[in-house]
Amino acid sequence: MRHVAIVGSGPAGYYTAEAALKQWGDDVRVDIFDCLPVPFGLIRSGVAPDHQSIKGVSRRYEATALTENVRFVGNVLIGRDVSIPELRELYDVVILATGAPNDRKLGLPGEDLPNVFGSASFVGWYNGHPEFAGLDPALSHDTAVIVGNGNVALDVARILAKSQNELHGSDIVAHALTTLNVSRVRRIVILGRRGPHQIAMTPKELGELAHLERACPRVDPADLPDEAEDAALDPGLRKSVGHLRAFSRTGDADCPSDQVTIEFDFFAAPKRIIGTERVEDVEVERTRLENGKAVGTGETYRVPAGIVIACIGYQTSKIPDVPFDAAGGRFANEDGWIAPGLYCVGWARRGPTGTIGTNRPDGYAIIEKVARDIGEGAGKAGRPGFDALAEQRGINYVKFTDWQKIDEAEVANARKGAPREKFVSVERMIEAAGKR
């Protein structure tokens, strides 16, 4: 029998569990730990609330979760409630699938001013992550600045631009819906240090902006390279750039004053965030490309803004006793191997890149490695050993069946047309699970 501990119940965690079941069938017991009482990581707290079909992937994880040989151990923070050496003592292998939940900093003066956020906190706020539910962003100024040229920047812009009507069938949490309902934001400026050919935005997400009820996406035609140069791009990027070209043909007359304009400001590097009580302006430096890199030109300008959201990437949270690669913002690892019996997978292994699906081959590859390393298992204590430790320490963990109760209560609490109303505090989740 092999005893496997997976830390983190996001896509990487569940694909790894699925691979372990395929590899060993009834000869494995997998415990999936999560610090939250609810599973699925960024599927619940990252993926945009108006992209419900993408969130549907969690049904696949449910099939894995409901097998006898896999169990969910929620509301246990590894590194605090139970240490890594303790887990390694109990299980043949510990696989860290803890994602990359911390915002990368802009590293600019003024970024600690009120109403300057990273996307982990802002997205966590509208998606009801308990850590960020109390964020309370002010949307009282007409301009929002978003920094970054990836899909997360587009998610944030879209949520800010959508009407209440368009958010109707989403699972955006009530506190965010209320704030967005009185939002004064009418201009969203997306800053990118480089140009249209360097974006990391996918065509589907960009194309969506053209179909919003009241949004007017705009690109300065002068920022676009010669159209002939698009031929050399990968097909996906070429399609994305095609959307930007279409946005560049939008004129003033196409954007009535009741619309929300979404302005793509390319070759624009934020330099300083200015304000007293809270952010008032972003100082931006014009850049140009040199060998694919953005280089400052010395020309600066200010964008008046009431809120700034930096969507520039994430870092893994450190865990005591696990070596960390500070430059990469993830655990120090060689293709997922950290130390004997200790591995990482998903964003915790490779950093915040790729889609949900990218985590599947990652999970299968890790289990292949683990299979070579742990053989038939070393007779470790596994589940019963963990349960004894939990009892001794008073850890009343949340099981998958408890999560199903939380799920049922969230669905029952949904406002009309919405799939669920999420609980946004751990206490309410635990209560709904009937654990208190």
- By the rule CB under 6 A, 41 interacts with ligand FAD: yes
232-235 long-range contacts (CB < 8 A, ≥24 apart) are 233/197
Length of the chain: 436
Q: Shortest gap between Cβ of 428 and ligand FAD (angstroms)?
A: 17
- By the rule CB under 6 A, 9 interacts with ligand FAD: yes
- By the rule CB under 6 A, 401 interacts with ligand FAD: no
Q: Shortest gap between Cβ of 109 and ligand FAD (angstroms)?
A: 26
List the one residue from 247, 331, 347, 403 that touches ligand FAD (CB under 6 A).
Answer: 347
- By the rule CB under 6 A, 98 interacts with ligand FAD: yes
CA dihedral 347, 349, 353, 354 (to 10 degrees): -80
- By the rule CB under 6 A, 50 interacts with ligand FAD: no
List the one residue from 3, 4, 6, 10 that touches ligand FAD (CB under 6 A).
Answer: 10
Q: Among all chains, which residue has been given the structure tokens 């320490």? A: 393
- By the rule CB under 6 A, 161 interacts with ligand FAD: no
What is the C-alpha separation between 160 and 234, in angstroms, rounded? Answer: 30
Q: What angle do CA 140, 143, 148 make, to 5 degrees?
A: 125
List the one residue from 37, 49, 99, 382 that touches ligand FAD (CB under 6 A).
Answer: 99
Q: What are the C-alpha distances in Å from 254 to residues 208, 209, 237, 355, 370?
A: 17, 14, 26, 34, 57
List the one residue from 13, 49, 110, 377 that touches ligand FAD (CB under 6 A).
Answer: 13
What is the C-alpha separation between 163 and 189, in angstroms, rounded? Answer: 18
Sheet holding 293-304, edge to edge: 268-275, 279-290, 293-304
Q: DSSP label at 298?
A: E
Q: Binding-site residue total for ligand FAD (CB under 6 A)?
A: 36
Segment contacting ligand FAD by CB under 6 A, of 1-9, 24-32, 301-309, 374-382: 1-9
List the one residue from 20, 31, 33, 330 that touches ligand FAD (CB under 6 A).
Answer: 33
Segment contacting ligand FAD by CB under 6 A, of 44-52, 221-229, 237-245, 253-261: 44-52
List the one residue from 3, 6, 11, 285 that touches ligand FAD (CB under 6 A).
Answer: 11
- By the rule CB under 6 A, 130 interacts with ligand FAD: no
Residue 363: count of CB within 10 angstroms of its CB: 24
> Under a CB-based contact definition with an 8 Å cutoff, are residues 48 and 155 in contact?
yes
Contact residues toward ligand FAD (CB under 6 A) are 7-13, 33-36, 41-42, 46-47, 51, 54, 77-79, 97-99, 101, 123, 152, 155, 317, 319, 346-348, 354-356, 359
